[in-house]
Chains A and B, each alone.
Chain A
Amino acid sequence: MAENGTNGTNGQGYVGTRTIRPDGVDKVTGRARFGADFNLAGQLIGRVLRSPHPHARIVKIDTSKAEALPGVKAVITRDDFADQSSEFIPAGEMMMNYKDVVRNVMAREKALYEGHAVAAVAATSSAIARKALKLIDVTYEVLPHVIDVVEAMRPGAPVLHDDLFTVGVEPKPDKPSNIAKRIEITLGDIEAGFAKADVIIEREFKTAPVHQGYIEPHAALATVSEDGSTELWCTTQGHYIVRAHCARLLGLDIGKVRVTATEIGGGFGGKTVVYLEPLAIALSRKAKRPVKMVMSREEVFKSSGPTSGATVRVKMGATKDGRFVAGFAELKYQAGAFQGSPVQPGVMCAYAPYDMENVHVIGYDVVSNRPKVAAYRAPGAPISEFAVESVVDEIAKKLGLDPIELRLMNAAHEGTKAAYGPKFGPIGLEETLNSIKKTEHWNTPLRKWQGRGVASGFWFNIGGETSASLTVNEDGTVSLMAGTPDIGGLRASLAMVAADELGIPYDKVRPIIGDTGSLGFNFLTGGSRSAFSGSMAIVEAAKQIKAELCARACKLWEAKPDQVEFKDGAVRPIGSLGEKAKPMTIADFAKVAGKTGGPIGGYGRINAQGAGPSLGTHLVDLEVDPETGRVTILRYTVAQDAGKALHPAYVEGQFQGGAVQGIGWALNEEYVYGADGKLQNAGFLDYRMPVASDVPMIDAILVEVANPKHPYGVRGVGETPIIPPLGAIANAMENATGIRFTELPMSPPKVLKALREREAAAKV
């Protein structure tokens, strides 16, 4: 498994233990600096004017009165951004088109959602900036709007883009529509599959848009010099991505833009794109002063991307002994105002946990007048897997089979051909199912109005471009610099790997996240990649250091390469090389670094490949209050394959956090739109996320089926945990009430309505 050559570990093995994170003290004392905590002398405050209409042509923008207001130093509109040609680039999750990116950052021809940025000002105070916004005169031609995905697909629906013609259908349409593309995957022969089935279940599901819900709003601080050099501090999951977008949108050399990722207060995919950053830079360039911009919570809900709402139809067939013989699904996902919903991964993941011969999944990417969707933890997968896991549960009930046994019977494992083509390497789904089966939770009896549900989930995980460095300081301490923002314990994990690779104490490794000027390119923190890729780059950097130290030892001891080795934290002679050849630690070399060739360091620059999927199974007990429709989660267990948990507590944290986001998605969270196309619940009171009293302890079972492609066996873990809760809770609801809920969230009004309708039907 270890492909890293010489091993520095002297058995101290920090990896796998629960160290205190090095950035922790600053976080528990309030000292850590997040996006809005940065200030520069002389800074201006920037604020954005946003469209009050969900769909409108922007006829004219008159900024003269705003510009004349004392204290206003710059005003920008669409005229301050060059148009971009149509070109697809991989950006965060979806393929984005720069023509769309520039329009999402600042509206051009049309305002396409309530909250769409139309203009921005920079002024000497927030109060003056707000006043200035009111003085900007925008002439709108209000157009009919459409929100719901099925409505947006209807012929005759208001069309958002005159140049959007559905890709992926034959014949090519001659009229524009809101359907950006149609995709599909097929495996085997779906009709032959259904012909073999003894039981066929077909259901339609509906989910609402939900927001990532990060507690820290977007924030950016930009300062542009007269020669165009730009410095930017922002809260982001990917400062190199921010740099690339801003350079492109503002016509700057990438090398002239230096972005520092501040500490980040949550992202979950929502901070992989740009909103304020290009605006802050454009304002600073115009005002010739630093400009700070922070979104209000209302702006976060209305103007940053939630994930898709969707309509999903699933049809599955199984033999009477439980073999899944056919799986069909049709997914219709909302992309928001511009194309690019995560329907593609939704399509690929729908049946991924299962070994099936016949699969046919179709997906539609559909635009509508609401904010452009952004990635949200395993984008697209929770929706499609929710639908499939619900139907799997119905199959179990129909056949009288245990839902865990049914999944075990059909579980994908090493060698299974995925519905999207390739065969799986080693994966841990069966292990997670068996772990759940063995829990006391699974075997505890339930009472009336209580129900139990189980569901599994799959996500691919990725690697990607990573640059990280290790520098040996004069006193033998090691400075570690990584380039992916630390969202939840990354610095601790990387420091442990460095300590083990070099055989030095953990607290002698000091990790920081470098800015874009300090390291080569790093893809963003997302795709469950930062620990997986970061640790690979650190192993590479450590390898370089060990090789360098061995080479220096050879010179010092006049030895040949095969006479020295790095072992247990020091370079050691193999056999006897005489008096002068005493083992030298890193600290020893550090003292004489200058004299023996110069500063000592290693620089890992890789495109990490070999990411392995992480699969998980969740078990939930809940209780329904028949008088209020309120659902209480009684007990929750997560079992998920981490490959190798570098830091078990932070891996458990991913399991628990993802599970609770899933609980919110299943039971309460949704974007509520009025008939006027405006968001009615743009705040935390009415966009109801779980609080501490809503959930119990979340038991976390760490399964470790090593990923053979990683030096420590690591699999990404961050995203998978949000997938199973939706199906598990829907299944538990059916178990508790006898009603199959197919619409999320299963909020109290909906539950109550279903219970009352059933009562009324029974009386008839």
Chain B
Amino acid sequence: MNGFTRRRRWVLALLATALFAVAALASQVSSSAATKITLTEEDYFNTPGQTAALALYSKQFEATHPGVTVKRQYVPFANLNTKLLTQAAGHDLPNLLAVDNPFVSTMISTGQVIPLSGLKGFSTQGYYPAVIKEGYSGGKYYSLPVAGANSIALIYNIAMLKAANISPPKTWADLVAAAKALTTPDHYGIALTCEAAEDTTWQWEPFFWTNGGKATFSNVSGAPGVQALNLWKQLIDDKSASKDCLQWSQTPAASTQFIDGKAAMMVNGPWNFPTLNQNKMFYGKQFGIVPVPTRVAGQHVIVPLGGEDWMVSKSGGTDAQQMAFEYIKGMQAPAMELKLAKLFGYLPGKVAVSKQYLKQAGPEWQVYIQQTLFAHPRTLGLGVKYPKISQAVWTAIQAALSGSKSVQDSLNTAQSQISTILKG
């Protein structure tokens, strides 16, 4: 009995010592970098293309800026915004943050990020207006695009459509019919996204906005919204779309359904091109792209604007802030923008560069480039209210598609919430 107690004490002591040794070592490592500038960065990019792009650029930046190290941290998409808010509360944001564009307004309002206007070399020349507007507040600009912008369109499986003898749908009626015809025991007609997250609202927005829905969602329970939601409901009721969409994210869950041949169509974006190609699916041979169908033929398609923006935090004082901006600025140079956009699967943020991009990139970009020109930035005019409105909308979509409420009831609930949000 005593032997065990003594042995146990030794083990504990050994463990404690080992622990402190490691901790001491760890703090040593961090303190030795005190004299140079270390830029910390957080983002949620994790495809090989995106990671390679950032690594490539950081290496180049460090080479041209001796004494500067860039430390990147990947944070999962679902957690990045929470982590950034927590860090803002602790006044400890990383120097560089890559933020999903609907969240830019929120970060601005925390007061922990600095305006980029007025910093040496800042310019908004040549960008698509929508790409720049997200970061505009109180007369100043707070962000610049990471790799450009993106949006969504309808991607379809050529072989499956041919087998069912239908052409790519242009109107909602076409879509419903096509999805039904394309549903076989092997695959669904279309893969939707209706999980409890932003990408559900994002996917629904083209249907709603194109149909006369307001950018502020103030008429979501009127005809535009009801018709748009009824469309999705019908796809589910017809069994042309799987109810599992309630669990699916846009990427990778829904996109994998398409890539694996479990769905003939999907609404998705150009960031999927690398993955599609890897799976031997190429534009014009295995998959085609058309704009999101409209209710009435000839309606002007309005899609939401996607993409991430760089922001610089207050951390580290003016030296670090200026250096962080240098990092961002370097990415905006046309040659670098072109390279990054290709690796990311995005459309370059500057008009001239994207025209050049279209020449180099394939015809699969045609639809996206046209759409992105008229894409609508989600937080324009709404700022911090957008995430709250988005939540009301996706909850309504889930309620209607899961069958717990009728379409009109779901949208009525959302409408009353949205009216309160818009007022306050």
Q: Do A and B come from one complex?
A: no
Binding site for A on B (CB under 8 A): none
